[in-house]
Structure 1
Amino acid sequence: MSLTQLIKRHKDYKQMFKEEVGNIKALFQCENGSIPFSKQAPLLVPSPMDFNPYIHSGIVGTAYDSWFRAYFQRKNRIMQEIKMESKVLQGYERIQHLLPPKESEELHEKIKNISNLRISYIQGHDVDEEELLRGMIVFAYCEHHHRATIPLREKSYTEPEEVEFRDLKALADHTKNHLPPFFNVQDPQSVKINPIFGITALFTGGADGDLIVDEAMYDIKSTKDYSYKGDQVYQLIGYYILDKNNPAKVFEELIEKIGFYYPRFDQTVFIPTDDLETEVNIDRLWERMMAYHQRTLK
């Protein structure tokens, strides 16, 4: 059970965050100086008309995260993810025996080829970018089985749905033309891709963020809903707490701000962690998190 699932599915765990954090919407700032979570912010990358959010949005979101990390590394000449993504492989391992043998073999070969393609892309080589995007959707199909117990897909695992590809391509194309300037890294040593927060994350059953860069932690939200969400804020604060209390810290430097990047809106919102710690008793919340997990382990 991951930090995300704990907050979503365990009412008492979520209540703990709600009591300690409350609503901190007023603490958020916008990188571009606009009003955070404004209802007037235009949706710049809408989904195709035949897009079903209940079926497709989670897949595209996961696929976009994997593509964005690869694009970010390629652009900044950072090579941290140059092997098969473990979440993809673990997802495949959960379903391989449930698939017909031929389909299982085809999927295994497919994800190996996609992994090699993604690594080549990160390393700066010319690749077929449409093939890469389709591959990220295949990765997402597998990764969703790692994250949760869900039924097998009725459709093929190796052939992405066209509506998902069109949405992902539109979002990736927009990102390449409108990447926020703070994602152009000055110090590659300041970057951690997909941080997992070491031993402290074991308290939550696992946790992995999206990106730490220049002492800022960002969670990527490719959703079409640009609004304040308590669950998402609790998750981000949870990541910050895990990083802060990790004895083998990801970096010596402390995280100075935490925030969300919304690529469909060209918006990035954040909270300086000094402001967060003034408003929220972070140490007490960490103590309550540890006490919760110690009770559940008995």
Structure 2
Amino acid sequence: MTLTSKLDGKNKRDKEFREILLSVEPDREDYYTLSNNTPFSNEYTSIVPNVLSNPRDSSLVGIAFDYLARFRIAQFIKAEEVIRGLSATSGFKKLRFPDEHENAELFYSRWGGKVLEFIKDDSMPISQLFEIAVHFAKLEQIARARINKGDINIEYLLFEPAQIEVINDLNNLMVVFEETFMIPEIINKKSKVVFNPNFGVGSLLVSGADADIFIDGTLYDFKTSKEKNLQKKDNLQMIGYYLLNELAIATLSDDIGFDYVHLDIKKIAFYKGRFGEIEYYDVNKHLPYKDVKPKLTEIAEHFKEKQGSLHLAWRADLDAAKRYLEEIRNGKI
């Protein structure tokens, strides 16, 4: 059970959690765009139409684009840590190859080494990573799926080349990304960037929650959908990330041993790759902390008995975390 699956859940507890988020769901009218176009509207121009012949490739492209976007940002700010903790690694581990196996060398040394080479070399074009990103995307899909090893197609995952239309789609998306996201209004060489941020205690309570990227106070979600509208699930997911991060801060997750980097989230945003549009929601303006505090109390109460994967954080001070959660339940924040 993860944040995403809780939002999709039909049981009583999941519906109760969803209600907590619905009570602070951002209003569509409170979003604004960098282009000054009306958010989620027909004022958007479809720069990269989805012309993929296989609908299943849309998901593959979306995940591969996430990798490419993060790798390009990492190249720009020289951040080698981008390759740590990739979901693709979890997928590869599902294949259960020993460390000395040639396929392990392919994944860790050749593919991982190529990404590091790209980050260090400003002259290397992102196109050098297209095939690797597609393989990473396939492995991430395996990481998310409930599938037996015997049902896994190794040839497809590690060796089958990407369809040319997938590569062309990624190329077009990255051209637009370079023009509309890699700009001074969004990022500079000294920007604070956190790749795949998680939310400490908050992430573990929902048994998994990590976002795409955090840059200078804004939490971004990359989208390659052809849809212009604001999707309720996406809206709830992003405000859910925000509240889970506030819970991480309230439980001092960065001080008591959790895998958490402190994030001061001021805005949440969607980057729409096919339109080159960014939709921002100013959380500080529309959701003051006096309204956040009772929601943290509700979340802590919701997870009082069933605490997700919190017990798996063996390196962290779980007693302290539980004590902080009890204080939050009692309104002592």
Structure 2 length normalisation: TM-score? 0.76
Pairing 1:9–2:9 present: yes
CA distance in 1, matches of 2:85, 2:264: 27
Q: Tell me if structure 2 keeps the 8 A contact 1:175–1:263.
A: yes
> Do the aligned partners of residues 22 and 237 (structure 1) sit closer, same or farther apart at CA in structure 2, a change above 3 Å counting?
closer
| Deviation of the 1:168 alpha carbon | 1.4
CA distance in 1, matches of 2:280, 2:116: 30
> Do the aligned partners of residues 297 and 243 (structure 1) sit closer, same or farther apart at CA in structure 2, a change above 3 Å counting?
closer
CA distance in 2, matches of 1:42, 1:282: 36
Paired residues, what number?
289
What residue in structure 1 maps to residue 32 of structure 2? 29
CA distance in 1, matches of 2:209, 2:242: 11
Q: Tell me if structure 1 keeps the 8 A contact 2:48–2:173.
A: yes
What residue in structure 1 maps to residue 117 of structure 2? 120
Which amino acid is 1:282 matched to?
A: V
| Deviation of the 1:153 alpha carbon | 4.7
What residue in structure 2 maps to residue 145 of structure 1? 142
Q: Tell me if structure 1 keeps the 8 A contact 2:25–2:236.
A: no
What residue in structure 2 maps to residue 171 of structure 1? 173
Which amino acid is 2:127 matched to?
A: E
What residue in structure 2 maps to residue 59 of structure 1? 60
3-state SS, counterpart of residue 219 of structure 2: strand
Pairing 1:43–2:53 present: no
Q: 1:187 aligned to 187, 190, 195, which one?
A: 190
Q: Tell me if structure 2 keeps the 8 A contact 1:84–1:115.
A: no
Pairing 1:204–2:206 present: yes
In the TM superposition, 1:44-123 aligns within 5 A as 44-50=47-53, 52-53=54-55, 55-81=56-82, 83-96=83-96, 107-112=103-108, 113-123=110-120
What residue in structure 2 maps to residue 264 of structure 1? 274
Q: Tell me if structure 1 keeps the 8 A contact 2:218–2:265.
A: yes
Cα RMSD for the two superposed structures: 2.9
CA distance in 2, matches of 1:187, 1:223: 30
CA distance in 2, matches of 1:154, 1:40: 44
Which amino acid is 1:91 matched to?
A: G
> Do the aligned partners of residues 273 and 251 (structure 1) sit closer, same or farther apart at CA in structure 2, a change above 3 Å counting?
farther
Q: Tell me if structure 2 keeps the 8 A contact 1:111–1:138.
A: no
3-state SS, counterpart of residue 183 of structure 1: coil
Which runs of no fewer than 5 residues in structure 2 stay unpaired?
Answer: 255-259, 309-333
CA distance in 1, matches of 2:154, 2:93: 18
CA distance in 2, matches of 1:165, 1:107: 23
What residue in structure 1 maps to residue 292 of structure 2? 282
3-state SS, counterpart of residue 287 of structure 2: helix
3-state SS, counterpart of residue 169 of structure 2: helix
CA distance in 1, matches of 2:125, 2:39: 37
3-state SS, counterpart of residue 21 of structure 1: coil
3-state SS, counterpart of residue 278 of structure 2: strand
| Deviation of the 1:108 alpha carbon | 3.1
Percent identity over the alignment is 22
Structure 1 length normalisation: TM-score? 0.84
> Do the aligned partners of residues 193 and 146 (structure 1) sit closer, same or farther apart at CA in structure 2, a change above 3 Å counting?
same
Which amino acid is 1:45 matched to?
A: V
Higher alpha-carbon Rg: 2
| Deviation of the 1:118 alpha carbon | 1.0
Which runs of no fewer than 5 residues in structure 1 stay unpaired?
Answer: none
Mean alpha-carbon deviation: is it higher for 228-237 or for 38-47?
38-47
Pairing 1:254–2:278 present: no
CA distance in 1, matches of 2:118, 2:103: 21
Please list the CA deviations of residues 42-72 of structure 1 after superposition, one character each: whole Å capped at 9, or x if unmatched: 211113352x22x111111111111101101
Q: Tell me if structure 2 keeps the 8 A contact 1:107–1:157.
A: no
CA distance in 2, matches of 1:260, 1:180: 15
Which amino acid is 1:157 matched to?
A: L
Q: Tell me if structure 1 keeps the 8 A contact 2:220–2:271.
A: yes
| Deviation of the 1:128 alpha carbon | 6.5
> Do the aligned partners of residues 259 and 152 (structure 1) sit closer, same or farther apart at CA in structure 2, a change above 3 Å counting?
same
| Deviation of the 1:3 alpha carbon | 1.3
3-state SS, counterpart of residue 294 of structure 1: coil
